[in-house]
Amino acid sequence: MGTLIVENKALFNVELANERSTREQGLMFRESLAECHGMWFDFAETKLVSMWMKNTPMSLDIVFVNETLVVTHLIESTVPYSLALLKSEVPVRYALELASGVVHLYNISIGDRIIIGKERGNDRDKFYKYSESAMCAQLKTK
């Protein structure tokens, strides 16, 4: 388990899919995914990536991220169980799978930066509000 921030938007708790077996399994057979949880895929190299929804009963949003940790492509509201290939369109190093609707809810967009390994108490902490009752930490509004 790890954490990452989509800069200026939200903090997510993510399961790591950084080995072939965990990437192949992904979120298959999962019935649900909490709003602020996801799966972070590290493909170990930059390449064109294709994913699918085989054996995945829930709709997801997929965020494709390049080697410099910038969002390059988004796919929203995937079709459960679909065998259609969901392509990155450009070479990427990473992908983030989130519950369907989360990309829209937090206004995640192409060009957003990802920060990996958010630790509580560092300098960035002052920019984020945390609530024990909330599942996500959002950027403080002015």
Q: Which residue range(s) make up the domain with 92? A: 2-139
* pLDDT, tens only, 2-34: 888 897 788 999 988 888 878 888 887 788 888
**R_g (Cα) of the chain, nearest Å:** 15
3-class SS at 135?
coil
Each as own residue / partner, the long-range contacts of residues 17-23 (CB below 8 Å, 24 or more positions apart, any chain) are 17/41, 17/42, 18/42, 18/44
* pLDDT, tens only, 19-74: 887 888 888 778 888 888 999 999 999 999 999 999 999 999 999 999 999 999 99
Total domain count, the chain? 1
Tell me, what CATH number does 132's domain have? 2.60.120.1140
pTM over 0.75: yes
